[in-house]
Structure 1
Amino acid sequence: MKDLLLVLPRLARMIGSLLGDREVPLSAKVALGAVALYLASPIDLIPDFIPFVGYLDDLLLAAIVVDGLLNYVDRSLLLKYWPGGAASLDTAAAVARRLAGWVPSPIKARIFGGRRHTA
């Protein structure tokens, strides 16, 4: 859990930078924007006032998008904006992959257009 909390600020910075980069595929930008809107919205699949479980949908959705970014956007582009080394990016990827593993692959592939994009 401590590793996850340390990664979140780095992740937020990287995502903000990726949104402004012309090399990032439109499908990835749309997914990032959609998850940001969902997380900011008061409407949830599982209401946030339910202890722990209420944030599960938010956590899974964020993990799907992060896992998708790491799988569908070229690694060199991610490292360009990651404010840490490759090892800490790999740690973030492992956490996101574990959480996103609860979601069927076809759903994740559909969010990002089903193919890997390279810079």
Structure 2
Amino acid sequence: MDWWQVVLGVLAGVLVVYVVLLGLLWAYARRHPDTVSAREALRLLPDVVRLVKRLAGDGSLPRGVRIRLGLLLVYLASPLDLVPDVVPVIGYADDAVVVALVLRSVVRAAGPGALDRHWPGSPTGLELVRRLAGVSAAGPA
């Protein structure tokens, strides 16, 4: 087998994984239309980043939760995304979906009170983040 065949095989594998991830992103967005829109999530981005940093630094949270939050910060800071941010609307929507998935995981592991304790923004913003994390007024969704 030549080196170029190996390179083509690896590139084809990466392309398949990319397409599968995009399909999962699309399926998730269609299954959860009641969550926060991408536009709303973008407005919250600075407060959400501060929230994630505060949660990641909270020693009372389980280590696995803090690791996920740290990886989320790396993903948000990275120029590499599932969908490049230069693509209108969808470019930022993948970031919002990844944030929603991680926040839902945090709420399952640490409880919705962790969001309330560490939220740096307005009460309206907290309500949007609670929706993004799948937490209703009555508790986790």
Residue number in structure 1 paired with 2:100: 63
Q: 1:54: Cα distance to partner?
A: 1.7
Q: Deviations over 1:35-80 (max 9, x none)?
A: 1111211222212221112222212111111222222213333332
Give RMSD over aligned pairs: 2.9
Residue 96 of structure 2 aligns with an amino acid whose one-letter code is L
Residue number in structure 2 paired with 1:19: 56
Q: Deviations over 1:7-61 (max 9, x none)?
A: 4444333322222221111111111111111121122221222111222221211
Tell whether 2:68 aligns with 1:31: yes
Which entry has the higher C-alpha Rg, 1 or 2? Answer: 2
| 8 Å CA contact 2:84, 2:91 repeated in 1 | yes
Cα separation, partners in 2 of 1:42 and 1:64, compared to 1, 3 Å: same
Residue 12 of structure 1 aligns with an amino acid whose one-letter code is V
Q: For the residues of structure 2 that align with 1:65 and 1:71, how far apart are their CA atoms?
A: 10
Residue number in structure 2 paired with 1:40: 77
| 8 Å CA contact 1:18, 1:81 repeated in 2 | yes
Q: Deviations over 1:56-111 (max 9, x none)?
A: 2212111111222222213333332234688864442213439xxxxxxxxxxxxx
| 8 Å CA contact 1:17, 1:81 repeated in 2 | yes
Task: Report the count of equivalent residues.
Answer: 98
> What SS class does the counterpart of residue 134 from structure 2 fall into?
helix
Matched-pair identity in %:
33
TM-score if structure 2 supplies the norm length?
0.54
Cα separation, partners in 2 of 1:83 and 1:46, compared to 1, 3 Å: closer
Q: For the residues of structure 2 that align with 1:54 and 1:5, how far apart are their CA atoms?
A: 11
| 8 Å CA contact 1:32, 1:65 repeated in 2 | yes
Residue number in structure 2 paired with 1:97: 134
TM-score if structure 1 supplies the norm length?
0.61
Q: For the residues of structure 2 that align with 1:45 and 1:5, how far apart are their CA atoms?
A: 17
Which residues of structure 2 form unaligned runs of 5+?
1-36, 136-141
The answer to which structure, 1 or 2, has the higher relative contact order (CA under 8 A, 6+ apart) is 1
| 8 Å CA contact 1:79, 1:86 repeated in 2 | no
